[in-house]
Amino acid sequence: MASSKQREMRVTLLTFCYLGIRPDRPDGYYITPLNDYVQRILPHSSSFALEVYTSREHVNRIGSLPFGRVLSLEPEELMAEVWDDPEALDAYHNLIQRNPTHSGSYQARFRRLIAVYLAKVAAIRKTFLSGCDACFWFDSGHWISYQAGHDLSQYRPQLQDGVTANGLSERLLDAAARYGVVGSQALPGKKKFHMPLAWMHEYGPELGYNNARDLPFCSAVFWLVHRNSVELFFTRFQHWWLRLLADGKAGIEENALTLMTWEQRCHVATYDTWVQVLRGGNLPRFTGM
């Protein structure tokens, strides 16, 4: 008897294109590199889906680009799945004023920004409702943030030369199935990390580390999550976000992602490693954290 055809494994590429929430960044900061990236990836593989979240007022504009599925949810609606407090934005604003290193930060100045930061974790979980096997989150503006020094005028499509769909879904699916969750490592040598480093290091002994100063911090630019690990990823992130707030330590989602990573011994790859994956390389074979 012939066996039934095996279901094709699928990866969902996920990002945000919320416009105007950071007034210091023009719309092209997100739209331009995202459009170039999509043109290189989506037409060449049936193993990918793409989901882009944007505000309701911008859905028609984003939908006119060659994207996959455009979802119109305000970031506060997604944030509420992580932090269910109707006064969340007020509570965060009040708390971050007591952060000695970041009381004047972007997230302190631009009220809705923290909603966008927290919303990405809820969006990752929602992605699996469509039946995908792995979700690959990427910041839509990272080609400008990391490759063009945050300067849109310095961005050129050639920065994405070499990005290829060839084998990308297989590489992502293999890594997701092997490791469950793979994050991205923040650039080393930081003297503060959205809060005083001492605030982060205080949690090391609780998590079984004698010297938390040797541990990596996490960036939110790339995250790969397998369907079997998404609930653990979400609930432990939520735990650490609420724990930081309860301890009076207002940072951003990268602080809670870092603590979740330390706790769960998740693996992280550098930004440059992730870019090489987009260009045809493989993630390293991780060993113990």
* CA proximity to 34, closest of 132, 130, 152: 152
Name the least confident of 35-39, 79-83, 84-88, 240-244.
Answer: 35-39
Taking the model in full, what pTM does it have?
Answer: 0.94
Q: What is the maximum alpha-carbon separation in the chain?
A: 69
| pLDDT > 70? residue 2 | no
Question: Can you give the pLDDT at residue 4?
Answer: 44
pLDDT at site 212: 86
190 burial level (CB within 10 Å; 0-12, 13-18, 19+): exposed
User: What's residue 68's pLDDT?
Assistant: 81
Cα 269 to Cα 288: distance, rounded to the nearest angstrom: 13
pLDDT at 1: 42
Predicted confidence band of residue 288 (pLDDT cuts 50, 70, 90): low
Residue 95 neighbours by CB under 8 Å, 6+ apart = 245, 248, 250
Fold designation for 11-278: Spore Coat Polysaccharide Biosynthesis Protein SpsA; Chain A (3.90.550)
Residue pair 136/169 in contact (Cβ under 8 Å)? The answer is: no
Task: Give backbone dihedrals phi and psi of 219, rounded to 5 degrees, phi first.
Answer: -95, 160
| Best CA proximity match to 141, nearest among 57, 279, 19, 44 | 19
Task: Report the alpha-carbon distance of residue 220 to residue 257 in Å, rounded.
Answer: 8
- pLDDT of the residue at 285: 86
Give tens-digit pLDDT for 3-18. Answer: 445 667 899 999 999 9
Residue ranges per structural domain of the chain: 11-278
Report d(CA 209, CA 179) in Å as an integer. Answer: 21
Neighbouring C-beta atoms of residue 272, cutoff 10 Å: 10
241 vs 244: CA distance, rounded Å? 5
What is the per-residue pLDDT across 224-277, written as a single tens digit (0 to 9) for each? 999 999 999 999 999 999 999 999 999 999 999 999 999 999 999 999 999 999
Which residues does 185 contact at the CB level (< 8 Å), separation at least 6? 216, 217, 218, 219, 268, 269, 270, 271
User: pLDDT tens across 88-138, in order?
Assistant: 999 999 999 999 999 999 999 999 999 999 999 999 999 999 899 999 999
Task: Say if residues 252 and 275 touch (Cβ distance below 8 Å).
Answer: no
The reported pLDDT for the residue numbered 51 is: 94
pLDDT of residue 7: 67
